[in-house]
Each structure stands twice: as structure tokens, then as C-alpha cells.
């Protein structure tokens, strides 16, 4: 049986989620990111909600705006890091090297594919450790790594040698 607090929260979520989602969706690059941020808005509300007053839409949208800002900063830091890695590869190996091709292929990957490849090759983790970091089963980690490798190969230029040593740029 649900408590009064839980029932009230469900009502807030049901009434407000569409507005929060639309607000976030107009400000981010994908529906997937918008869904994550909108869900986080309600996580924050649940964690901070202490009294019986019902949070209004303005409060929810303020939380959403702050979370969107966090997402922008995170994206900008990630892009700056990728650019720094590419620049370092160009300086060390030249513009036409396979190391640069690796960096460019990594940039084109989805974030979750890039993350699992970095865990496997840059952080040198085994499947069991990758599974623990990703909070999934070992078989799921193997499948994800296999798919990420296949996606990586698709982004490598023809004739390039995407060996695992090259991924450690």
C-alpha cells in the first residue's frame, strides 16, 4: 500500500511531467537526454520534498533549468577533452596518423560505446570489472563491448588498422 507522500508524488508527476519534458526537450539535443533530465527533475523533487506543500510548476522548471545547465557543462567538458586528445595525437603523430583516425572514430561513437571502449582499452579493465562499473551482467558487458567494437570499426577510415594498441592514444 502506498503512503500519502507516494500518492501525492505520483499525482505531481502525472500532472507535471509533460510540461517539464517539453521544457527540457526544447533545450537539449535529443529526446533521450530530455527524458533523462526530466526524470532527474522528479528524483530531485522526491529527495528534497519534506513538507505537505505541493511543488509548483515554476519550482520544477527551475530544477529542470539547472539540470539542463549541468548537462551543457558536462557536454562542453567532454567535447573539450575529445578535442584535447585529438590535438595531442596530431602533435605527437602527425595529422594523417592512425592515432588521429582513432580519436576521430571515438568522437563519432555514441557516448555509451565510447565509454565501454575506454573502460576496456584506456582503463584496461576486464569484462567482470566493466560489468561492475556499468552495473550489468558479464554477458551484457561482453555484448556491449562487442557492439562498441563493431561501431568503432565502422567509423575507422578504409585501410586503417584499428588495433587495440592504437586505442590507447
pLDDT score of 52: 73
Closest to 24 (Cα-Cα) out of 48, 60, 76: 60
Decide if 111 contacts 122 (C-beta within 8 A): no
pTM: 0.59
Smallest Cα–Cα separation from 89: which of 78, 105, 76? 105
**Nearest Cα residue to 102 out of 75, 122, 131:** 122
CA distance 169 to 166: 6
Position 96 pLDDT exceeds 90 = no
pLDDT at 95: 63
Rounded alpha-carbon distances, angstroms, from residue 59 to 12, 18, 42, 73: 12, 15, 11, 22
Amino acid at each position: 500500500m502506498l503512503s500519502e507522500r507516494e500518492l501525492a508524488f505520483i499525482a505531481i508527476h502525472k500532472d507535471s511531467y509533460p510540461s517539464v519534458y517539453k521544457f527540457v526537450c526544447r533545450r537539449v539535443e535529443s529526446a533521450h537526454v530530455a527524458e533523462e533530465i526530466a526524470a532527474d527533475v522528479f528524483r530531485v523533487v522526491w529527495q528534497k520534498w519534506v513538507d505537505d506543500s505541493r511543488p509548483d510548476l515554476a519550482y520544477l522548471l527551475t530544477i529542470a533549468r539547472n539540470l539542463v545547465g549541468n548537462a551543457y557543462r558536462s557536454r562542453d567538458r567532454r567535447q573539450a577533452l575529445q578535442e584535447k586528445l585529438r590535438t595531442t595525437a596530431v602533435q605527437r603523430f602527425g595529422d594523417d596518423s592512425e592515432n588521429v583516425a582513432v580519436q576521430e572514430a571515438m568522437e563519432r561513437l555514441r557516448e555509451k560505446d565510447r565509454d565501454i571502449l575506454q573502460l576496456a582499452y584506456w582503463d584496461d579493465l576486464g569484462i567482470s570489472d566493466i560489468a561492475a562499473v556499468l552495473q550489468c551482467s558479464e554477458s551484457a558487458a561482453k555484448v556491449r563491448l562487442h557492439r562498441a567494437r563493431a561501431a568503432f570499426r565502422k567509423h575507422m577510415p578504409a585501410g586503417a588498422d584499428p588495433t587495440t594498441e592504437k586505442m590507447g592514444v
